[in-house]
Structure 1
Amino acid sequence: MKVYPLVLGPVQTSCYIVSNHERAVVVDPAANANQIIQYLGMKKLKLEAIFLTHGHFDHIGAVNELVEKYQVPIYAHKKEKEYFEKSEVNLSPMIYERLILNPDFEYRFVSDEESIECLETKIKVFHVPGHTTGSLCYYFEEDEIVFTGDTLFKQSIGRTDFIYGNHEQLVTGIRRKLLTLPGQTLVYPGHGECTTIEEESKHNPFLA
Structure 2
Amino acid sequence: MKLKWRQLPLGPLQTNAYVLRNDKKECVIFDPGHEGEKLISYLQQEGLTPLAVLLTHAHFDHIGAVDDVRDAYKIPVYLHKEEQYWLSDPELNGSYLFMTNREITAKPADRLIEREGELTIGSFTFAILETPGHSPGSVSYYCKEAGAVFSGDALFQMSIGRTDLPGGSFNELMMSIENKLFSLPDDTAVLSGHGPKTSIGFEKANNPFLK
TM-score (norm 1): 0.95
Q: In the alignment, residue 191 of structure 1 is paired with which amino acid?
A: H
Matched, 1:100 2:105: yes
Distance in 1 (alpha carbons) for counterparts of 2:178 and 2:161: 14
Give the gaps of 5 or more residues in structure 2: none
1:20-39 equivalences under 5 Å are 20-21=22-23, 22-39=25-42
Contact 1:24–1:119 (CA under 8 A) maintained in structure 2: no
Alignment correspondent of 1:114: 117
Q: Which amino acid aligns with 1:110?
A: I
Map of 2:210 onto structure 1: 207
Structure 1 residue ranges, 4+ long, deviating more than 6 angstroms after superposition: none
CA drift of 1:143 comes to 2.0
Give me the TM-score of the superposition, normalised by structure 2.
0.94
**Displacement after TM superposition at 1:76 (Å):** 1.3
1:88 aligns with 91
Q: How does 1:130-145 map to 2 (within 5 A)?
A: 130-145=133-148
Cα distance, 1:119 vs structure 2: 4.6
Return the alpha-carbon distance in structure 2 between the equivalents of residues 6 and 119 of structure 1: 23
SS at match of 1:85: coil
Task: Give SS of 2:127's match.
Answer: strand
Superposed displacement of residue 165, structure 1:
0.7
Percent identity, aligned pairs only, is 38
| Amino acid in structure 2 at the alignment position of 1:138 | Y
Cα deviation for residue 120 of structure 1 reads 1.1
Separation (CA, whole Å) in 1 of partners of 2:74 and 2:54? 14
Residue of structure 1 in register with 2:8 after alignment: 6
Deviations along 1:52-102, one digit per CA (max 9) or x if unpaired, are 000000000000111111110111100111221210111112125222211
1:27 Cα deviation after fit: 0.4
Return 5+ residue gaps in structure 1 as ranges: none
